[in-house]
Amino acid sequence: MALIIPLFFFGVVGLAVLSAVLDEEASANPCTPGTAEALPGVGVAEGKLPSVGSWSKEQIKNAALIIAAGAELKVPLRAQTIAVMTAIGESSLIVVDHGDDAGPDSRGLFQQRDNGAWGSYASRMDPRRSAQSFYRALLKIQGWADMEPTIAAHKTQGNRDPYHYAPLWDDAVKLVEAITSGDQNLFSVLSTGGVAECDNAAIAAGGTVTWPVPASLAKSDRHNYGNSGSSWAHGHTGTDFSVPCGTAVYAVHNGTIEIDTTQSWSGPWLVKVVTGKHSLTTWYAHMQKVTVKAGQSVTAGQQIGEVGTEGNSRGCHLHLEVHPKNGSIYEDGVNPSEWLAKNIGKNLGGVPQGKLGAGWRLASFNALGHSHTSPSGERPGWPDSVPRTDRAIAMLTRNGVDVVGLQEFQPPQSRRFLSQVGDQWGLYPGPTGIQPDNAIAWRKQTFRLVQIRRFTIPYFHGKPRSMPAVLLEHRGTRARYWVISVHNAANAHGPAQKWRDAAIAKERAFVSQLRGTGYPVFLTGDLNDRHIAFCGLTRGGLMVAAAGGTNNGRCAPPAKPPIDWIFGSGGVFTGYQVDGSGQGTVSDHPLVMASIG
């Protein structure tokens, strides 16, 4: 049987529909690597264009035509998104009949030259044909799918600035997501791999075990597992925490949320935190409110609901069950009180389920900006940034770092970095990018870049400063992770606590936004705060710190809180290390590292 997928083209007289026929085999298993990209990224509500931000209908129409041209050629959705990004950078998605100083003969959406490579004038001015010329040129570039989108576009277009298109990627993603059919999430198919359904399995098991209610209320546990009575047909299968209705309920460990709405005894919802098909699962019943969604990845200590008295209940309390093998209600339950007494505060460890199985090392490093040790800098006697960058590379190599969030990584340092190890490491943003001092680097052998994002925080005197984030895919497991690099204002130019507080609020909001994509989020950076940074970013179970500490109703930072932090929301930290060997010769900050998975 064949699958018919409509492709939409916008003409002068309205919307015309074209059909493409794909073998059912090609889309039978969306979890098979590669199949997601084989599906054309097409489908627009018939007869109208979607509304996307401040883009005009003409611009959205041209983006749709670029996408449809790619779908017609059956190019991957990643290529379609690169094409839209390129057209934004070349023409702002307007079919322009003029060039510029660099190319007076450039025309059309892609500003293609009259040199014979891009076809006739009519072809260059036609959105469909010019887009297909772009796709054919892009696909000839070896390894284009593994490149940063801006580099792939640069190699296709020959723009003088390789990073010219980088700030436009997010806009392209939003346009393509709005124009393509809603049954596929663009973020899940931007590079070879499965769709969102598969990625939802990539959740973290284990983590540091916490109480299901605020620690101050731990003694409310009634220790009534196994009790008999008229309320229970086969004995009490859990333990009850008798606390007021509305009390926060926390996930006892990391996992993925399942919500069963068929268990009337539990009330409207029986919430489960699951670590695997046949692995540890905890149940939470009688809640009056649920604050998580099915399929959501949560970390230990993250709030999942509120205590209530729903279902088979005689007063406000939380019913907790522990099922070590994810069995049914009478299969494998153990005494939760005894299990908690044995495991509270312990890291369950274990290998994360599914796609988070391969271990890797994440680091954060304030590299001490070039300006500090330049001839006019305030650090006389320090080596300049070239040898310091070389030594930083040696530290990363010696410690086996796979991904690093960099702060104060100014253009001379990033240029030196790329000249020395650019064949081995990816870097965003590059030396010519927007506000490049904060960057993220990844070892190409281990990770590939899927997507980039930026957000702003208040910096010195409250002036906005852009911070980078990247979505990386592990080449071995196809697991995806968001990594953020931030640098909050120090007091070097006057008291800056209020700007740091505002920055943490912005960072919390951005982390929450990225968590909505379903992938684990890691935040690295020099936060210039100790207790305040920890408490702010771990509040409500948003993240956990690789350096330790808890925030389960009462904020308890690690014994020696740093200012250089690594936080995670959905990954398992299996180790933490600080390398201070470069302090005084490489930077005034240590290299901090965390092992994940």
Cβ atoms of 195 and 185 closer than 8 Å: yes
Alpha-carbon span 242 to 306, nearest angstrom: 13
pLDDT at 137: 92
pLDDT, one tens digit per residue, over 495-533 is 989 999 999 999 999 998 888 777 889 999 999 999 999
How confident is residue 269, by pLDDT bands cut at 50, 70 and 90?
very high
Rounded to the nearest 10°, the torsion over CA 272, 274, 279, 282 is -30
Sole residue written with tokens 């870097």: 427
pLDDT at 12: 26
Going by C-alpha positions, the residue among 423, 410, 499, 535 that lies closest to residue 147 is: 423
How confident is residue 403, by pLDDT bands cut at 50, 70 and 90?
very high
Is residue 63 within a helix (H) or strand (E), and if so which, with residue range? helix 57-72
pLDDT at 14 over 90: no
pLDDT at 15 over 60: no
pLDDT, one tens digit per residue, over 323-333 is 988 888 888 88
Assigned token pair, 337: 């009180």
First to last CA, the chain: 42
Supply the mean pLDDT for the chain.
80
Strands 447-458, 544-545: parallel, antiparallel or unpaired by DSSP?
A: unpaired
Between 428 and 174, the more confident residue is 428
Cβ atoms of 413 and 442 closer than 8 Å: no
Please state the rounded mean pLDDT for residues 127-148: 89
How confident is residue 338, by pLDDT bands cut at 50, 70 and 90?
very high
How confident is residue 21, by pLDDT bands cut at 50, 70 and 90?
very low
pLDDT at 254: 79
Name beta bridge partners: 376. Answer: none
pLDDT, one tens digit per residue, over 69-79 is 887 777 887 88
Between 102 and 169, the more confident residue is 169
Under 8 Å CB-to-CB from 515, ≥6 apart: which residues?
297, 521, 569, 570
pLDDT at 504: 94
For residue 525, give the 3-state DSSP assignment.
strand
pLDDT at 179: 77
Distance of CA 131 to the CA centre of its chain: 30
pLDDT at 194: 27
Cβ atoms of 238 and 226 closer than 8 Å: no
Alpha-carbon span 480 to 476, nearest angstrom: 11
Please state the rounded mean pLDDT for residues 212-229: 86
When mean pLDDT is compared across 3-12, 101-110, 202-211, 586-595, the lowest value belongs to 3-12
Under 8 Å CB-to-CB from 570, ≥6 apart: which residues?
203, 204, 254, 297, 298, 299, 515, 519, 520, 521
When mean pLDDT is compared across 13-22, 182-191, 314-323, 365-374, the lowest value belongs to 13-22
Please state the rounded mean pLDDT for residues 406-427: 92
pLDDT at 198: 27
Under 8 Å CB-to-CB from 394, ≥6 apart: which residues?
none
Cβ atoms of 310 and 268 closer than 8 Å: yes
Cβ atoms of 272 and 262 closer than 8 Å: no
pLDDT at 563: 94
How confident is residue 3, by pLDDT bands cut at 50, 70 and 90?
very low
How confident is residue 182, by pLDDT bands cut at 50, 70 and 90?
very low
pLDDT at 197 over 70: no
Alpha-carbon span 502 to 542, nearest angstrom: 17
Phi-psi region of 139 (alpha: psi -120 to 50; beta: other; left: phi over 0): alpha
Cβ atoms of 218 and 320 closer than 8 Å: no
pLDDT at 27: 27
pLDDT, one tens digit per residue, over 473-485 is 988 788 889 999 9
Alpha-carbon span 499 to 569, nearest angstrom: 24
Sole residue written with tokens 């279902």: 311
pLDDT at 205: 37
Assigned token pair, 582: 């470069």
pLDDT, one tens digit per residue, over 345-375 is 665 643 332 222 347 899 999 999 998 998 8
Question: What is the percent of the chain with per-residue pLDDT over 90, rounded to a whole number?
Answer: 39
Going by C-alpha positions, the residue among 338, 314, 343 that lies closest to residue 224 is: 338
Sign of CA dihedral 190, 467, 359, 442: positive
Question: Model's pTM, two decimal places?
Answer: 0.48
Q: What is Dmax (Cα atoms) for the chain? A: 87
pLDDT at 48: 53
Q: Is the peptide bond before 464 cis (omega within 30 degrees of 0)?
A: no
Domains of the chain: 2-197 (no CATH), 215-343 (2.70.70.10), 358-596 (3.60.10.10)
pLDDT at 393: 93
Alpha-carbon span 179 to 71, nearest angstrom: 12
Alpha-carbon span 99 to 76, nearest angstrom: 29
